[in-house]
Amino acid sequence: MHISTLLFGCGLAPFALAAYSVQDDYSGNNFFSMFTFDTENDPTSGYVNYVDGATAQADNLTSVNNGVVTIASDSTNVASGRGRNSVRITSINQYTHGLVVLDLAHMPGSACGIWPAFWMVGPSWPNNGEIDIIEGISLQTQDAITMHTGPSCSMIGESCDGSEGCSTQVGGPTSFGDGFNNNGGGIYAMEWTSDYINVYFFSHGNAPADILGATPDPTTWGKPTASFVGGSTCDIDANFQNHNIVFDTTFCGTWAGAVWSSDPVCGPKAATCQDYVQNTPSAFTEAYWTIYSLRVYSEASSSTVAVEDDAPVPSSTSAAAPIAQATNTTAPVAAPSASPSATRSSGAVAVGSPANGTAVSETPVSDNEGVSVGSNWQTQEIPEKREVNFLAGGPSGRRADHLRRHRTKHS
């Protein structure tokens, strides 16, 4: 499908023909104008007060400095009312298929009670699908990637139906929370076609050279961090449509709050998640996203990509068109000198760097296979509880509620 072929002929120098080109560039000063601020009560019942755009700016929860976007949660005040001040934004534009590339210096850091997510969701949840690219709670040490659909879709050996979804925790200790931040951040990319939804995670030090460029080509990136393949078990086009992009950071609620008392590290800190989040603002000084760039790429027109190996070489004008759209790329930060020290004391898979070919998703760790979320998974596996918790508190009801509201707002 995605052809990236070196073409030779007609005396032209070889040139790469990439299948993706920039559709929407959210980076820098445009960023917040391309989202709406959700100020509703958190559909996931979080202890959070989602503020509007003016308040976020006035309180410096949102800012753009030299093209770098920050989205923060309050970390100075004892919370009151609906909860801790924070931000939830939904893209104005919707997407079906494409390549989404998010380059981060920082994501909300590990903190008891926190629940950040970068995700995409369609109307009429769950029937138009949900793609959770970055998600986790509290002291979780690697990323949870999850698909939610209607009843007719199974991928990675699990039903993706409804609130439980099909989910895998992958990416290793630099993929989430403090581990991600201490490693200088990284790049997440999600490629969505009729055939599969792939998520890639790279640290800056091992990211593909073209990933932030004008014409990224995932076919050259090696094995995805997580791969959700459709086909006979899931008609992806029937189950995933018209997605908005969402960033949010909530607290407690139906996931982080629901597992509070069973978390051996967080639980003892306060009687309830809300008590802790309300009264411990200093725990959330790292509760912010720092975004170098966010771009959505679409497949180039069929006249550009439909080039067989033995087909006629396209004219130089048509072939050059996508290349001429090159936009400036965001320079990744230098790779940190020190590798993260976090290692897993237990846990089922060795997770390596996608860039050096170490398998990261050969055997995805399913949520149902006992590698638990929360701070306790490293030392204590609680598979049954985990599954119950996920059913009760996963990105589930919140999304249904969200979508009802979302639809009302936009229809």
Ligand X SMILES: *[C@@H]1O[C@H](CO)[C@@H](O)[C@H](O)[C@H]1NC(C)=O
User: C-beta of 340: minimal distance to ligand X in Å?
Assistant: 10
* DSSP-assigned states of every residue in 27-87: -GGGGGGGEEE--SPPTT--SEEE--HHHHHHTTSEEEETTEEEEE---SS--BTTBEEE-
> Can you name the residues that pair with 161 across neighbouring β-strands?
149
Q: Which is nearer to ligand X, 183 or 198 (CB)?
A: 183
**Pairing label, strands 84-86, 48-50:** parallel
Q: Which is nearer to ligand X, 152 or 353 (CB)?
A: 353
Contact present, 249 and 108 (Cβ < 8 Å): yes
User: C-beta of 70: minimal distance to ligand X in Å?
Assistant: 4
Q: Which is nearer to ligand X, 50 or 289 (CB)?
A: 289
Tell me if the bond preceding 268 is cis, omega within 30° of 0. no
Q: Which is nearer to ligand X, 174 or 193 (CB)?
A: 174
Contact present, 322 and 22 (Cβ < 8 Å): no
Both tokens assigned to 177:
């929370």
User: C-beta of 360: minimal distance to ligand X in Å?
Assistant: 9
User: C-beta of 352: minimal distance to ligand X in Å?
Assistant: 3
196 by DSSP, 3-state: which? strand
CB atoms within 10 A of CB 13: 7
CB atoms within 10 A of CB 306: 11
> Can you name the residues that pair with 181 across neighbouring β-strands?
none
Q: How many CA atoms lie within 13 A of 29 on its CB side?
A: 1
Backbone angle region of 195, left / alpha / beta, with phi > 0 → left and psi within -120 to 50 → alpha: alpha
Q: Which residues bind ligand X (CB under 6 A)?
A: 60, 63, 65, 70, 328, 331, 352-353, 356, 358
CA distance 14 to 7: 6
Q: Which is nearer to ligand X, 85 or 154 (CB)?
A: 85
Q: Which is nearer to ligand X, 60 or 318 (CB)?
A: 60
Q: Which is nearer to ligand X, 102 or 403 (CB)?
A: 102
User: C-beta of 62: minimal distance to ligand X in Å?
Assistant: 8
CA distance 406 to 396: 15
User: C-beta of 108: minimal distance to ligand X in Å?
Assistant: 13
Q: Which is nearer to ligand X, 27 or 149 (CB)?
A: 27
CA distance 107 to 291: 8
Among 130, 164, 286, 369, the active-site one is: 130
User: C-beta of 305: minimal distance to ligand X in Å?
Assistant: 27
Catalytic residue check, 384? no
CA distance 394 to 72: 23
Instruction: Give the torsion sign (CA, 280, 281, 286, 288).
Output: positive
User: C-beta of 65: minimal distance to ligand X in Å?
Assistant: 5
The residue type of 59 is D
Which H or E run contains 144? Answer: strand 143-148
Catalytic residue check, 381? no
Among 40, 135, 299, 381, the active-site one is: 135
Contact present, 288 and 72 (Cβ < 8 Å): yes
> Can you name the residues that pair with 85 across neighbouring β-strands?
49
Catalytic residue numbers, as ranges: 130, 135
